[in-house]
Amino acid sequence: DAGITQSPRHKVTETGTPVTLRCHQTENHRYMYWYRQDPGHGLRLIHYSYGVKDTDKGEVSDGYSVSRSKTEDFLLTLESATSSQTSVYFCAIRTHRGGENEQFFGPGTRLTVL
């Protein structure tokens, strides 16, 4: 699992409430990513980080913000959750191995917005 943990693993919340998901890694990787997984869409990149306080948008960033104040933690925040943000969220890290940048995923957080 590349030393990645995600918390919480499951969450049910109501429309309009703020939600923060946490990704924690123990191996000092520089690059971290947040994806969402939905049926029929595979995984889609929300935001990524290339260092402390360095972040950038991905394919589906609207409605999400991120923060990275420490190398080991990458937070994903839904400022005001909507039902369309019901999904499974995966964090990933990037390693450089065999000349390739490879991404390894955490166990996921299942979020339900009622």
Partner 1 sequence: QQQVKQSPQSLIVQKGGISIINCAYENTAFDYFPWYQQFPGKGPALLIAIRPDVSEKKEGRFTISFNKSAKQFSLHIMDSQPGDSATYFCAASIRVNNDMRFGAGTRLTVKP
Minimum separation from the CB atom of position 48 to partner 1 (A): 5
- E-strand ranges in the chain read 4-7, 10-13, 19-25, 32-38, 42-51, 54-57, 64-70, 73-78, 87-97, 100-105, 109-113
Question: Where does this chain touch partner 1 (CB under 8 A) — which range of 22-30, 62-70, 75-83, 87-95?
Answer: 87-95
Compute the chain's Rg from CA coordinates.
13
* Binding status of residue 30 toward partner 1 by CB under 8 A: no
11 binds partner 1 (CB under 8 A): no
Binding site for partner 1 (CB under 8 A): 1, 4, 31, 33, 40-45, 48, 50, 56, 58-59, 90, 92, 94, 100-108
